[in-house]
Structure 1
Amino acid sequence: MDVVGQGAVTGADGIARCPWGSSSEEYIAYHDAEWGMPVVGEAAHFERLTLEAFQSGLSWLTILRKRPAFRAAFADFEADVVAAYDDRDAERLMNDAGIVRNRAKIQATMTNAVATVRLREDGGLASFVEGFRPDPLPAPRTLADVPATSAASVALSKALKKRGFVFVGPTTMYALMQAIGLVDDHLAGCHRRGCAVSGR
């Protein structure tokens, strides 16, 4: 079903959601409880950054279903632990059927862990990403109104690359900004519109 031009849709439970957030039980749970909500701490930001990078070219549903395995594979996204991974760890992860076995993305996660540790000297990953929060925009009415990138995501991408991060292109960073509530792209009429501001 083409949902790009759709506005918020009301599900069988009588609740209006973004169209993608109504398409499966996993999406409903993620849409209602997480997407667009602020996260706290380095590990949470490193996790979201990593998962968005792994999602590139794949369905987000695939990533959601593999999320427990990703957390186990990458030590609950403790940057110090992942930064110490070596070639043997990369090979171990390439043999882990629970995650997306993409060597470039696995290596990128290890690289980004090192960059995350280094970024603590300048306040840490969480505050760094938060510094690119743009001014709020009117609520999109349909998915067609939701951009793939923004000036802020381009700037965040460039800034992270300068700090040694990889697989942090503008589209991936815009998805990160949506996921952690730096931008609110819940559609007008969606019951979760404004959740990043309300914090619930």
Structure 2
Amino acid sequence: MSLTVTTWSLEQTSPSDLVPAAAPGGDVRIVRAEVPSPEFSRFLYASVGGDIRWTDRLSLTYAEWQKLLGRPGVETWVAYDRGTPAGYVELAARGERGDAAEGVVEIVYFGLLPASRGRRIGGHLLSYATARAWDLAERWPGLAPTERVWLHTCSKDGEHAMANYQRRGFRLFDTTVEQEPDVASPGPWPGAERD
């Protein structure tokens, strides 16, 4: 059985393109996970993407996760709501084909855990992470200054994802439609689906 998936690619080409969202009320903090941790990154990936069919990284070995996270210019930023992970963003200095394109930063993964959605955390996290994509080279000596930040979202993502990206100043530059296998995601762990 297959699933028709539309993928939209969006970009910013100047830091002035970013339209920040207001910070949510309460104790929401965004912190960089400076020590690459396959365990923590896999937890975030599975917890955020479990109910929206993120499956591309679930079969990776520990060593493969470590290699991905340990590359220069890769950062994980985590939003915490009163000390509990609420969502995350993974940034990577690379082009659309995974190459180390000079001055290009991809927002590889972005999302919120299901319990944190609809609470105004997503716009704030995306704003903060996009600003960190623009100043990525300041933290990574040897990287070219960022000239473009891009991402993709698809019809499997949350219903408000595209609108959030566009409100933050991202512009559409490509659309593709493909057939993908309709694979059920196990969520953060087998049997953890929400009712």
TM-score, length basis structure 2: 0.23
Which protein has the bigger strand share?
2
For the pair shown, the structure with the greater C-alpha radius of gyration is 1
Pick 1 or 2: higher relative contact order, CA cutoff 8 A, min separation 6.
Answer: 2
TM-score, length basis structure 1: 0.23
Which protein has the bigger helix share?
1
